[in-house]
Amino acid sequence: MIVFVHLLNDASGSPRVLQSAISALVGMGRMRVLYIGSDGNDVLSGCGIPIRRYWYRRTRWRILTLVTYMASQALLLTRLLLARDIDRKAVIYVNTLLPFGAALYGWLTGRKVLYHIHEVSVTPAPLKWLLVGVARLTSSFNLYVSEAHQAAMPIPGVPYQRIYNALDAQFSARASLWEYEPRQEGVFRILMIASLRDYKGVPELLTLAARLVDREDMVFELLVNDEAEAISRYFGSRDLPVNLTVHPRVADTSPYYQRASLVLNLSRVDQWVETFGMTVLEAMAYGMPVIVPPVGGPAELVQAGVQGYQVDSRDGEALVGAVLRLYENPLLCRQLSKNCKIQAENFSQAKFATALQGVIRGMI
């Protein structure tokens, strides 16, 4: 039996990877069930296994969200302790460090705990100390999504393995059929997909767009993992360049990739080190050249000058230079596009499933 546990069911990377893990582990364990927080109704809602909700609410106020989060973990622990159908040999699959109530349940009841860790930058510091401490106490095995990730978030004394995230099989099949064009209808379109957080590089995107606003055939799109209300709140006191359009969360990102010429990840290397970079990999599957930070998971996906460029988003001149290099050279864009598609083939669902199944066999 495998008991999967997650906190927030949104469209971000970690629930999407958990969805892939659930699909990869079909047939392993006589029963699979997912415990998930009650806030959010996105990618995991159709995961194909029974879902049990536990209370959780995210708010606009960080301190209040911290309070509701801690309460949610007490409720999760209680609900798991009261469950009567969880096998004594069940593996408790904790997705991200956040659902620590499930890890405590596994430790208290003698069940094996598997942590699939996705994050590095956990704040405030006392929360990070708590979560890492619980993982060190309770975990039987840790999964990391990149080599850089493991180096940045080591948990001493716990065996671990790196398993790169995988592209969804249907997404990959659809992307493989797409033929990249550096410009569509004469427009060079630059896309970034990110949450509305400064550390994700949104201010750097605004600055970049403003510096290139005089190029009438270049436009920018920002697709955010938030609703229209959050967009209005975030940009309320900021001036948006006329060449930038901001879009709220969507269920299918494919149309945005299909019309893009270039995809950016501008996460600040001193504040947010990306552990993997799923949107980078998705863009590469569509053959989109990419610009990524020079550290973290994206730097393992993208070889400088082969699939795109590695640029510290704090270096505005280097960022503008890399964008213009691609904007002015369609032949270079096409060559990078071919390389991107080749690289994306290394991150198939089949390879992910084989590696993950090997880990689970060693635990069941």
User: Tell me: the pLDDT tens digits for 65-89?
Assistant: 999 999 999 999 999 999 999 999 9
Quick one: pLDDT band at residue 51, thresholds 50, 70, 90?
Answer: very high
Same structural domain, 129 and 192: no
The 10s digit of each residue's pLDDT in 307-349 is 999 999 999 999 999 999 999 999 999 999 999 999 999 998 8
| pLDDT surpasses 90 at 54 | yes
Same structural domain, 161 and 178: no
| pLDDT surpasses 80 at 12 | no
In the structure encoding, which two tokens stand for residue 11, read together? 């469209």
213-236 in b/e form (b: 16+ CB < 10 A) is eeeeebbbbbbbbbeeebbeebbe
- Four-residue CA torsion sign, 279, 258, 254, 343: negative
Same structural domain, 74 and 188: no
The 10s digit of each residue's pLDDT in 151-201 is 888 999 999 999 999 888 888 999 999 999 999 999 999 999 999 999 999
Same structural domain, 249 and 263: yes
Same structural domain, 155 and 197: no
Instruction: Name the residue range of residue 80's domain.
Output: 2-166+348-361
**Contact criterion met (CB below 8 Å) for 248 and 224:** yes
What pLDDT is recorded for position 190? 98
In the structure encoding, which two tokens stand for residue 282, read together? 């998705």
The 10s digit of each residue's pLDDT in 251-296 is 889 999 999 999 999 999 988 888 888 899 999 999 999 999 999 9
306-339 in b/e form (b: 16+ CB < 10 A) is ebbbbbbbeeeeebeebbeebbeeeeebeebbeb
CATH number (domain holding residue 242): 3.40.50.2000
| pLDDT surpasses 70 at 144 | yes
Same structural domain, 244 and 207: yes
Quick one: pLDDT band at residue 29, thresholds 50, 70, 90?
Answer: low
Same structural domain, 154 and 222: no
Same structural domain, 357 and 279: no
DSSP 274: -
- Return the percentage of the chain with pLDDT > 90, whole number: 73
Same structural domain, 42 and 114: yes
What pLDDT is recorded for position 69? 96
Same structural domain, 186 and 281: yes
What pLDDT is recorded for position 47? 83
| Residue 177 burial (C-beta neighbours within 10 Å; 0-12, 13-18, 19+) | exposed
What pLDDT is recorded for position 162? 94
Same structural domain, 226 and 193: yes
Number of domains within the chain = 2
Same structural domain, 174 and 282: yes
Q: What is the mean pLDDT of the chain?
A: 93
Closest-CA residue to 58 (of 77, 37, 73, 33)? 37
Q: Which phi and psi angles does 48 have, rounded to 5°?
A: 90, 5
CA–CA gap between residue 338 and residue 180 (Å, rounded): 9
In the structure encoding, which two tokens stand for residue 350, read together? 């089949």
What pLDDT is recorded for position 284? 97
What pLDDT is recorded for position 26? 82
The 10s digit of each residue's pLDDT in 280-291 is 999 999 999 999
